[in-house]
Amino acid sequence: MVKDIQDAVHPFDAESVMGLLQAPPRVLALGEPTHGEDSLLELRNTLFRRLVEQEGYRTVAIESDCMMGLVVDDYVTSGTGTLDEVMERGISHGWGTSTANRELVRWMRAHNEGLAASERVRFAGVDGPLEMTGAASPRQALTALHGYLAAHVDPGLLPCTADTLDRLLGSDDRWTEPAAMMDPARSAGQSPEAAELRLVADDLVALFDERTPHLLASTTRDDWDRACLYGRTATGLLRYHHWMADASPARLTRLVGLRGQIMARNLLALADRGPVLVHAHNSHLQREKSSMRLGDVPLEWWSAGAIASAHLGGEYAFVHTALGTIRHQGVDAPPPDTVEGLLYALPQDRCVVDARRLATALGETRPAHRVSPWFGYAPFDPTHLAGGDGIVFVKDLPKL
């Protein structure tokens, strides 16, 4: 058994990852089982640098606010702003303070120096403007889309004026009320103004689609792509806010599902532009249905990766990351009957595992699901072996 498992194991490098695949996919997704560990992000950086240099990937996307990501993209492609400013304003969830994220952005800027626009590597956030505690105001996305259209089409075709849009939006505080995540009565998402804004957003996106031939002829492709992002974000945020105000038992399931849909739409739009490397939590990128518990409430949803895979088929590849120990978080050596335990018994400290060959080697053996003592870490689900293309396994994760 050990030898059969060893035959599925390869050195940790980009060549081993690509060797798992029949051809370079349009979207290559690398997951992580926990957030906030720079050691994992350094591994991501190592792989992504080689894949950009050797395989021609031209977009690097991470689990961060898609609107904020425009600030990083401007910096890495044209040097707009300073690295300090970009890390503060361009990456969400507090992850701009990560040394490894800073190094990724710094490297992308250095890599792009002197390259033609078509050869530069781009940055993107795939997440919506969302946090666990709430969602952003739709103001930025709506006003940006309205402004783009106002500059390039007959103003009489717009569904409302900028002043009307501002009046309907009102104060941003009503949208970002922290208590609304747990108390739907505190949400503005089903107010009369919100209902009217959803119609306005729909009309703006419809006008944008209808005028696409003219817009592509009169503006740059990058400007058009950004306007697409504004439209996706505006409609997605308004839908999210609407369901934040819902009091039914399905409320939380809808919200996690909507977040997955927003991420999937962003990822598919990036894939339309060219080959993409994306990094996020395993639960956002896996092909199987995702699940979690929020307190006593079990939640299941189709992730961004599952949706993107359904659209892209073989053009989507997913590499799971699994861990042995995270001792500084209380995660000690894994039980030997888990997938992590089987890999932990091998001599390699870091390796790339062919998930399908591993599943074949295990045969009728059914690994147990590891139980994590730390809420922030999601162990490998053994039922997902056949659904991934590979596993990056790290035996011991040090604290940096």
Let me know: does 128 contact 244? Beta carbons within 8 Å.
no
**Burial, 352: exposed, middle or buried (Cβ in 10 Å; 0-12, 13-18, 19+)?**
buried
pLDDT at position 179 is: 94
120, 77 in Cβ contact below 8 A?
yes
CA distance 14 to 22: 14
pLDDT attached to residue 400 = 82
pLDDT of residue 386: 84
What is the predicted pLDDT for the residue at 294?
82
Q: Tell the burial category of 292 from Cβ atoms under 10 Å away from its Cβ (0-12, 13-18, 19+).
A: middle
Q: Which is it for strands 297-301 and 59-65: parallel, antiparallel or unpaired? A: unpaired
Q: 109 with 75: CB under 8 angstroms? A: yes
Pairing label, strands 390-396, 297-301: unpaired
| Residue of 400, 398, 399, 394 lying closest to 334 (CA atoms) | 394
Tens digit of each residue's pLDDT (9 = 90 or more) over 202-248 = 999 999 999 999 999 999 999 999 999 999 999 999 999 999 999 99
Q: Sort strands 276-281 and 27-32 into parallel, antiparallel or unpaired.
A: parallel
Backbone angles phi, psi at 80, to 5 degrees: -70, 125
Cα–Cα distance list, 275 to 78, 109, 112 (Å): 20, 19, 17
Strand order in the sheet with 9-11: 9-11, 350-354, 390-396, 316-325, 27-32, 276-281, 59-65, 122-127
Q: Which regions in the chain score pLDDT beneath 70?
A: 1-3
Give residue 133's pLDDT.
84
For residues 383 and 362, the answer to whether their CB atoms sit within 8 Å is no
Are the beta carbons of 234 and 141 closer than 8 angstroms? yes
d(C-alpha 307, C-alpha 376), whole Å: 24
Q: Which strand (E) or helix (H) includes residue 290?
A: strand 290-294
Specify burial of residue 132 (Cβ count, 10 A radius: 0-12, 13-18, 19+): exposed
pLDDT value at residue 295: 81
Side-chain half-sphere exposure of 378, counting CA atoms within 13 A: 20
| E strand map for 178-252 | none
Handedness of CA 102, 103, 106, 107 (dihedral sign): negative
Neighbours of 160 (CB within 10 A): 17
Residue 318: beta bridge partners?
A: 29
For position 2, what pLDDT does the model report?
Answer: 58
**What is the pTM (predicted TM-score) of this model?**
0.96
